[in-house]
Amino acid sequence: MNSKKMALFMVMVIAVGLFALPNAMLLLKEEWKETPMTSEEVLSAWKKLPPEWKEVLSKWEELPPEWEELLSEWDEIPEEWKELLPEWEKLPPECKELLANWDELPPECKKLLTNWDKLPAEWKERLLKSEMISPKLVSEMQYQVTVRLT
């Protein structure tokens, strides 16, 4: 009798597991559907993104909260206002330098940068690891100021 109860219990556990697994996958897919970019778009933009920007993305959490809002509105802000914004003063110098070259970025890179915070953490982690950037090491690294030669 005990073995029959155990067998019935195991069948129920398996049935519940088989029912729950597809639903869990659907939930994950639904969450990722809400992302502003597909994984293919993210990978394509990441490949075109200059290394200096990748380094900034790896330090996203250390940047002032205004950074994300400033990036998302950067194209609409008149040139003469950009350096007068209160958020501008809070930015690290290397971020200011990168924003000065914003117009040179391909549109898909701009989209990636303005939507970085909305992407699934797994995607961001995978991208950073592909560049051999780990969060522990990144916080200890110094930004390298890049000089543009034109």
pLDDT confidence of residue 10: 73
Q: Show the domain range for 4.
A: 1-34
Determine, yes or no, domain membership for 128.
Answer: yes
Positive or negative torsion for Cα 65, 89, 98, 92 = negative
Claim to verify: residue 24 and residue 42 sit in the same structural domain: no
Dist. CA 51–CA 31, nearest whole Å: 29
Q: Global pTM?
A: 0.64
Dist. CA 11–CA 19, nearest whole Å: 12
Claim to verify: residue 8 and residue 70 sit in the same structural domain: no
Question: 56-106: per-residue pLDDT in tens?
Answer: 888 888 888 888 888 889 999 998 998 888 888 888 888 889 998 999 999
Determine, yes or no, domain membership for 73.
Answer: yes
Question: 113-144: per-residue pLDDT in tens?
Answer: 999 989 998 999 999 998 887 654 444 444 44
Q: How many domains in the chain?
A: 2
Determine, yes or no, domain membership for 15.
Answer: yes
Claim to verify: residue 105 and residue 70 sit in the same structural domain: yes
Identify which of 68, 54, 43 has the alpha carbon closest to the alpha carbon of residue 141: 54
Q: Band the pLDDT of 148: cuts 50, 70, 90.
A: very low
Claim to verify: residue 23 and residue 74 sit in the same structural domain: no
Claim to verify: residue 2 and residue 50 sit in the same structural domain: no
Determine, yes or no, domain membership for 4.
Answer: yes
Determine, yes or no, domain membership for 150.
Answer: no
* % of the chain exceeding 70 in pLDDT: 74
Given phi > 0 = left and psi -120 to 50 = alpha, else beta, which region is 62? alpha
pLDDT confidence of residue 110: 93
Q: Exposed (0-12), middle (13-18) or buried (19+): which is 1, by Cβ within 10 Å?
A: exposed
Determine, yes or no, domain membership for 64.
Answer: yes
Determine, yes or no, domain membership for 88.
Answer: yes
